[in-house]
Amino acid sequence: MLRLITGIRGASGFGSASTAEEVTHGVDAAALTVIITGGASGIGLETTRVLALRKAHVIVAARNMEAANEAKQRILNENRTARIDILKLDLSSLKSVKAFADNFLALNLPLNILINNAGIMFCPFQLSEDGIEMQFATNHLGHFYLTNLLLDKMKETAKSTGIEGRIVNLSSVAHLVCPSEGIRFHNINDKNSYQDKVAYGQSKLANLLHANELSRRLQEEGANITVNSVHPGLIMTNLMRHSAFLMRILRVFTCLLWKNVPQGAATTCYVALHPSLKGVTGKYFSDCNEYKPSKLARDEVLARNLWDFSNNLINASQKIIDK
């Protein structure tokens, strides 16, 4: 907590006050192609801007295409050499996730980095079009499916180029606020027991478990791809639109704990690009330094159960779509 408040730098040489530009200074990403979900607003937009500044080719996966094109133009006005493309993606829809993956693969581009950044937070109870609780569907399941659909392309790119692939899942310290069992496999869609903050914490725990299990599987394969999770910090963005009034009150009493957007994007950019993290996988980062997540987040059995559960949800939804 003291390190967060004071901005004292950790072992990485960076800390809570570091910005995305600072942690990527001197990095040449010209050879890299990156997909970032939700890269048109909030810390996703800053991540897009800084990755493009470091010369990466950035594919922004966005639900609102008009807003995404406006964001792209703002970046181009500042950086005329930025390489940014936009493809439509609604993570709450497995059909949309599949269409996005198909559209990207049809471009025949390499894929070095996947940043699973987009998300929703503290929203009222709602089911996705696939009949799955909306925070779990958007924050975890959509990213789980997207990653699986793009994984072969990432393996192929890493093998043909010799450049390590990196997958970054945006989790949160909110993974601590989850059901006692971690993931409610048997009543994931139960409206009566729904609590918006607990459901959000569950989805963020799922992001961590997904990253850890995928990291384990890729290590077993010997694939040249790392998978890590990050907590960006407390940042006032559109993510908090369902609880903006509450968060503004909270911010008055916890003002020293909050970051601005450039600071909020720093850990993502650090884990995605920094050369010191070559070969580092299955870890959790906050303030650009490695931290130990909760006991549940480190539960290998829970991670494997979530993997199977997620695949079963996707398979069941695909059968309905195919009918």
Structure tokens at 93: 């829809």
Contact indicator for 15, 23 with CB cutoff of 8 Å: no
In eight-state DSSP terms, residue 176 is G
- Tell me how far apart the alpha carbons of residues 64 and 271 are, in angstroms, rounded to a whole number: 27
For the chain, report the end-to-end CA distance as a whole number of angstroms: 52
Helix (H, G, I), strand (E, B) or coil at 10: coil
- Tell me how far apart the alpha carbons of residues 62 and 47 are, in angstroms, rounded to a whole number: 14
Structure tokens at 14: 């960076």
Catalytic center residues: 194
Residue 322 burial (CB < 10 Å; 0-12/13-18/19+)?
exposed
Return left, alpha or beta for 115; rule: phi > 0 is left, psi -120 to 50 is alpha, else beta. beta
Q: DSSP per residue over 191-241, as a string?
A: STT--HHHHHHHHHHHHHHHHHHHHHHHHHHT-SEEEEEEE--B--SGGGG
